[in-house]
Structure formats: C-alpha cells, structure tokens
Structure 1
Amino acid sequence: MTCKNCTVALQPDYDFCPKCSQKTNLHRISMHEIAHDGIHYFTHADKGIFSLLRDLVKKGGTVARDYVEGKRKKYFPPINFFLIVAALNLFAINVDEQSVRPDMGREQAMAYYQINNPTQKAAFARIYDRQVEAIDFIKRHSNKTVLIMLPLMALVFWLFYRKGPYNFTEHLIAGMYMYGFCTLAFVAMALLNLIFKVDINIVYTLTLLLQLVYFSWFYRRFMVNTTRLRAFMASISAIATVFVLTGLAVMFYVMGAVNQ
C-alpha cells in the first residue's frame, strides 16, 4: 500500500503518511467532508481564525512576535488571514452602492447651479465625475489597494525600527495581523451600517481612530523594548503615509479633469 499523495510505502497500521501527513483511509469526497473541512479550517481550537481574533484582541503584537520567533503552528497563518479579510473588505465596500458614493452635497449643488459660465460649469461637472470615478475605482479594487497599503505601512514601521531585531518581511507579517484586524473591524462596521445608515464618513473616522490606537498598542507589544511614544509616532506616520499617498493619487486624477 502506498500514499496516494506522495507514493511513500505505508504499513497497514498507519493512519497517516509519515512523509506528508495525509490520511491513509481515504474515501470519495462528499459535501459533508467539504463542510467539515471548511468549518475545521476556520474554527480549529488551537489555531482557527476565531482563536486568532481572540488573541489579537487580548495579546495584540505578542501574536506576531510569537509567529516570527517560531511559534507558527500555534496561530492561523497571517497571509491566509489577510487575504480572507481583503476579500471581505471588497464585499463590504461594494455591498451598499450608496454608502461610499459621493453624492453631490448641498454646497456643491448650490455652487454648480450658481455657475453661469458654460465652460466653468462643464469643468465643475468633469471634476465631480472624476471624483465619482476615483472612488468607484477604489471600491472595485479595494482588495488590491489594501495589498498595496500593507507593504507601505510595513516599510514605515521598519524604518522606525530598522535597528531592531526584525527585518522588513517580519514587519510585513506583523502588518498582516495588525492591519488585517483593523480592516476586519471596518468590515463589521460597514455591514452594521447597512442597518443604521449613518454617514459613511463617521465609519471611516472611527476606523482611522481604531487604527491609531490599535497600531500603537500592537507595536508596543511586538517590539518589546519600544516606548509608547515611539510606537505611537510610528503608527501615526504609517497611517499618514498611506492617507497622503492615496489622497495625492486621487487629487492628481481629479485635477486631470481641469486640463481637459
């Protein structure tokens, strides 16, 4: 008898392959097995995603420190966690068409209708259309934008702690847990907002405040010898870097309408 996965010879009393750890007693795949494996993947008592969320709430940066220092079987993998959160973020942003679409506000509408010059009026309309296009683009590609923001944030933290024990990749791992947790909190608030219908800008503001507080606390625990002030400054710098670069990208795109 051989393993169907790696063809290693097996003894009759083996329950698992000694090389690849696959079960030896296999049967045809059923819907029950798929459902069981899926639930087990997310809820495994030792390293399921819910166990990870509990640890990220209680231990913060200690989770990332444990992971980069070798305790990798203990926690749900950071890349898996972050990619799941990115997919949920894409869903949450797009599930409500009106929640993030910049409807023309009262002041903008008044300014638009007070313009008598047809050329200026057309330019105003183009700028507004560009705003809508930019935000729609971010909505459609929000899973990609968080993947771009993550290494930018990790780079800022690495620069702040470049004399520390961790390299850029290890700061990236920390960012997957840290930024992933805050993004998941945004997803939860955005979905709740489908019920409460508050101004979406309030949700974004709360998310930014959560990021600032959680990032600071997280890095205080990830970098054991850091100070609260240093962790706070690194956090606000990382958030500001992403915020400014995103704002500049949108501004340059919107202002392109003026030159048309």
Structure 2
Amino acid sequence: MNCKTCNTGITNTHKYCSNCGAKIVLDRISLKGAWQEFIGPFFSWDNNFWKTFFNLFTKPKEVLEAYIGGARKKYFQPFSYLVVYATIALIINKIFPSTEVADFTNGIKSGLGDANPKAPKEALESINIIYQFYSNYYNLIIISSIPAYSLLTYLTFKKRDHNYSEHLVFNAYIQANLGYILIASQLIFFNLIGLSKGLISSAFILISAIYGLYVFIKLYQLTFKQTLYAFFRYAGYIILAFITLMILSIGVGILYAMTIKTS
C-alpha cells in the first residue's frame, strides 16, 4: 500500500509514513473516531498543544529555538496557537458578556451629566462605544499589538542575531500563552469569585511584563546586569512609543474637531 499523502510505499504495520510523517489511518470513519479526532488536540496530555503550553513556562528557550530552528512538528505552531487562543477568547466573551460595560457607561453618563448638563449626547455615545469595544475585544487588541511588541523586543535585543520575523514568532507564543492564563483568570476571578475585571486586567499587565522578561532571560541566558539593561531599554522604547501615540492621538483629535466645526 502507499501513503495517501505523499504516495510513498508503506506496510500495514506502519503507524506513520517514513517520508512525510503523516499518520496512517486504516479504519473507516465512525462517530467515536470523529469525536476522538476532535477532542484529541485539546485533551490529550501528550500532544503538542499541552506540551507547548507547559514548556513555554518551564523551558521557553527550547520551544522558541525549536520552531525557528526548523523543528516545526515538535511544538504547536505559533500562529495556529494564537488562532486557537483568539477563538476560545471570542467564545468565552460571547458566553460570559461583561456587565461592567453597562456599569461603566452609566457611571460616565451620570458623572458628565452632573459636571456638565449640556454634555453632547454624541460624546457619551462615543465613550460607550470605545469602552465596549475595548472590553469585548481586549484579547484581539492584544493580538493586533504583537507586531508592535515584536518591534520593541527586536530593537531591545538587536545584537542577539534574531531578526524581526523571529521576534514575531517569539511574541506570538508569549502573548498566546498569556492569553490562555488571562482567560482562565477571568473565568475564575471574575465570573466565579466576582472580582473587578479592571483589577484583573491591572494585575495581568504586571504578570505579562514579568513573564515576557522571564522568557527573554531564558532565551538569551541574560545575567542580572544584562537583564537590568534590557529592562530599562525596553521601558525606554515603550515610553517613546507612548509619547508618539499620544502626539498622533492629539493630532487626530484636533483634525476631528476642526472637521466638526466646519461641517
């Protein structure tokens, strides 16, 4: 018989093709088999997903270097790993919508109304839309920020011989792993215990910074002195990026205000 993927000759005793590595499936499709195929990637403790998740905490250097070094099947691919996280995050947000959006909006309306009874309705609606979008799609905002994070880490560790594309891989793994932790934290501390989502998000910012630094310490085997240097350099780039973003935001706001006045 031949492999159905690459047509290489194989025997009935083979479980995987020696040429392309594809799994040899001899059984017909059944409900049991289809179910096992579906849940296998997520609930089998010896598969790439869980190995990737745990090793990114215990052996991050091995995971990151394995992928960029060409061992693409050893661990879950970074961008697939990210897509799985984004999908789970969207499902969780639909199942457990945040009530804090309405509470925040009502508080803003009350505060602005007391301070300025003539506050424009459009301004209140804009604040509502922005906060609602941020709250509902926080996870996707983090994903969309990966190119920016990657640029910052690339500039911080530019002398370490990893290019920008490789830093995209590093940060995809890092942000996805942090995302899974954030989802679990929200389910436990927000939905079950009832802590404020704002408090959880604030704590998570600190956790993200510590974990990101930890991964790069392990990856580059940084000394304490090198770690401090990298930290302050990275912080400097973040401050510079923040100032640039603020200037751009002010510029956009001025242009928007001028457009409103002339219309």
TM-score range, shorter chain: 0.7 to 0.9
Alpha-carbon offset, residue 194 of structure 1: 1.0
- Counterpart position of 1:233: 232
1:115 aligns with 2:112: no
In 2 relative to 1, CA 214–237 (structure 1 residues): closer, same or farther, beyond 3 Å? farther
- Counterpart position of 1:220: 217
1:146 aligns with 2:142: yes
Alpha-carbon offset, residue 62 of structure 1: 4.5
- Counterpart position of 1:4: 4
Task: List runs of 5+ in structure 2 lacking aligned partners.
Answer: none
Alpha-carbon offset, residue 101 of structure 1: 4.7
Contact 1:52 1:76 (8 Å CA) reproduced: yes
Which whole-Å CA distance do the structure 2 matches of 1:92 and 1:229 have between them?
37
Which whole-Å CA distance do the structure 2 matches of 1:161 and 1:172 have between them?
13
Letter in 2 for 1:230: Y
Q: Secondary structure at the match of 1:3?
A: coil
Which whole-Å CA distance do the structure 2 matches of 1:150 and 1:141 have between them?
15
Which whole-Å CA distance do the structure 1 matches of 2:103 and 2:250 have between them?
13
Alpha-carbon offset, residue 97 of structure 1: 3.3
Alpha-carbon offset, residue 4 of structure 1: 3.2
Alpha-carbon offset, residue 217 of structure 1: 1.2
Contact 1:93 1:100 (8 Å CA) reproduced: no
Q: What is the aligned length? A: 255
How does 1:90-239 map onto structure 2 within 5 Å?
A: 90-94=90-94, 95-101=96-102, 103-104=104-105, 106=107, 109-116=110-117, 120-121=118-119, 123=120, 125-139=121-135, 141-142=137-138, 144-192=140-188, 193-225=190-222, 227-233=226-232, 236=235
Which whole-Å CA distance do the structure 2 matches of 1:167 and 1:156 have between them?
12
Letter in 1 for 2:201: Y
So what's the TM-score if we normalise by structure 2?
A: 0.77
Contact 1:156 1:237 (8 Å CA) reproduced: no
Which whole-Å CA distance do the structure 1 matches of 2:70 and 2:203 have between them?
34
Alpha-carbon offset, residue 181 of structure 1: 1.6
> Structure 1, residues 30-79: CA drift from partner, whole Å, max 9, x if none?
23222222343235555532222222222344532343234444322222
Contact 2:154 2:167 (8 Å CA) reproduced: yes
Contact 1:81 1:180 (8 Å CA) reproduced: yes
Q: Secondary structure at the match of 2:159?
A: coil
Q: Which has the higher helix share?
A: 2
- Share of identical aligned residues, percent? 20
In 2 relative to 1, CA 31–179 (structure 1 residues): closer, same or farther, beyond 3 Å? same
Letter in 1 for 2:90: L
- Counterpart position of 2:34: 34
Alpha-carbon offset, residue 7 of structure 1: 3.8
So what's the TM-score if we normalise by structure 1?
A: 0.78
> Structure 1, residues 161-220: CA drift from partner, whole Å, max 9, x if none?
122121111111111121112222211122221122222210110110111111111111
Over the aligned positions, Cα root-mean-square deviation in angstroms equals 3.6
Contact 2:152 2:238 (8 Å CA) reproduced: no
Q: Secondary structure at the match of 1:103?
A: helix
Alpha-carbon offset, residue 130 of structure 1: 0.6
Letter in 2 for 1:86: A
In 2 relative to 1, CA 199–216 (structure 1 residues): closer, same or farther, beyond 3 Å? same
Q: Secondary structure at the match of 2:176?
A: helix
1:78 aligns with 2:74: no
Alpha-carbon offset, residue 152 of structure 1: 0.9
Task: List runs of 5+ in structure 1 lacking aligned partners.
Answer: none
